[in-house]
Amino acid sequence: MEKNLVIEVKGLSKTYKKGVKAVDDLNLSVKEGEIFGLLGPNGSGKTTTINSILDLLDYEQGEIILFDNKFKNKTDVKRNIGLVTQEVGVFDQLNVIENVTFFCGLYINDKATRDQYVKEAIELVQIQDYVKFNPKKLSGGLLRRLHIACGIAHKPKLIFFDEPTVGIDPQSRNHILEQIKQLNKDGATIVYTSHYMEEIEFLCDYIVIMDKGKIIANGTYDELIDKIELVEFIEIEYNNNFPDEAILEIKKMKEVVEVIKNDYKVVIKTNQDNKTLSKIITLLETHNIDYAKINSSKPSLNDVFLELTGKELRD
């Protein structure tokens, strides 16, 4: 059965001063229950797109439909949306529970319901031991968790996460990713942006890559892999010497796209994943190359991104 669309964007265009077109006739859709990854280098138009969807920005052309137009007014729409921004936005004068209660109270009027929602949000992000702490007393990771609790306490059906793990330790980062997974399991549709490609790979069911205001690729991780020339990476860690003639032989293999040789490591990028590894092993044996490890892997999402956009995500 086809899932309902939570977001539908049709022909969205936005031009800034001096004729800079941030978004150019953009079409995208987000299905109910999906974790939707939105990627793009700086200036690609993803922030403009999100701000347009959130009704924070005027645009000159296009249509944005949220929740299949089932809510009658903007207040009901906003009640069902949560936003966790890159910059932490909480009140230093309020403690943890007061902060979460305040933000939840923007949408939930009934005190008993609000108190229950606040309790559940605090437990979800596991900051129940810090409810009387003011934000300045929290570590970076705990502060991020508080920020998330404030954004999701009212139990929105659609949640936007914009770089929620920037600048925190790996343990807190992993914890936040697990929280996002749990929110999705509990029924929330997630739109997620990040500069950490491994987060997108871990979380997202569907990924859109934008550049210059347009979508240049979209699909699941496996579908995006199919859009690029690279299919397999073979890494060889060698002990003593890797002769130049062996490198030349590898480069002449028809399926080899690129060979990179560093100190004690050779990386081979290929456009086939069938029998290449066995051919490489035979070549190593022929040249008596003493290798410590050989490994074959699929390209990462970062490889896909660089292949399609030709630029780093942090441009």
Q: What is the pLDDT, as a whole number, of residue 253?
A: 92
Count the Cβ atoms, other than its own, within 10 Å of residue 177: 20
**Higher-confidence position of 271 and 65:** 65
Confidence bin at 300 (pLDDT 50/70/90): confident
- Measured distance CA(227)–CA(110) in Å, rounded: 50
DSSP string for residues in 47-75: HHHHHHHTT-S--SEEEEEEGGG-SSSHH
Q: Where are the domains of the chain?
A: 5-225, 232-298
Q: 91, 99 in Cβ contact below 8 A?
A: yes
- Which of 198, 271, 288 is closest to 234 using CA atoms? 271
Is residue 18's pLDDT more than 80?
A: no
Q: What is the pLDDT, as a whole number, of residue 244?
A: 93
Letter for the amino acid at 204?
A: C
Is residue 187's pLDDT more than 60?
A: yes
**Higher-confidence position of 302 and 238:** 238
Q: 213, 207 in Cβ contact below 8 A?
A: no
- Measured distance CA(32)–CA(67) in Å, rounded: 9
Structure-token match 């749990």, residue found: 182
Element (H, E) at 96: helix 96-105
Question: pTM of the full predicted structure?
Answer: 0.84
User: What is the per-residue pLDDT across 109-155, written as a single tens digit (0 to 9) for each?
Assistant: 999 999 999 999 999 999 999 999 999 999 988 999 999 999 999 99
Is residue 311's pLDDT more than 70?
A: no
Is residue 315's pLDDT more than 60?
A: no
CATH 3.30.70.100 fits domain 232-298? yes
Q: What is the pLDDT, as a whole number, of residue 3?
A: 77
Q: What is the pLDDT, as a whole number, of residue 17?
A: 80
Homologous superfamily in CATH for domain 5-225: P-loop containing nucleotide triphosphate hydrolases (3.40.50.300)
User: What is the per-residue pLDDT across 191-246, written as a single tens digit (0 to 9) for each?
Assistant: 999 888 889 989 999 999 999 999 999 999 888 888 887 778 899 999 988 999 99
Joined together, the tokens standing for residue 76 give 């009901």
- Cα–Cα distances in angstroms (integers) from residue 286 to residues 112, 238, 281, 282, in the given order: 75, 15, 9, 6
Letter for the amino acid at 236?
A: I
| Residue 89 phi, psi dihedral angles, 5° rounding | -125, 85
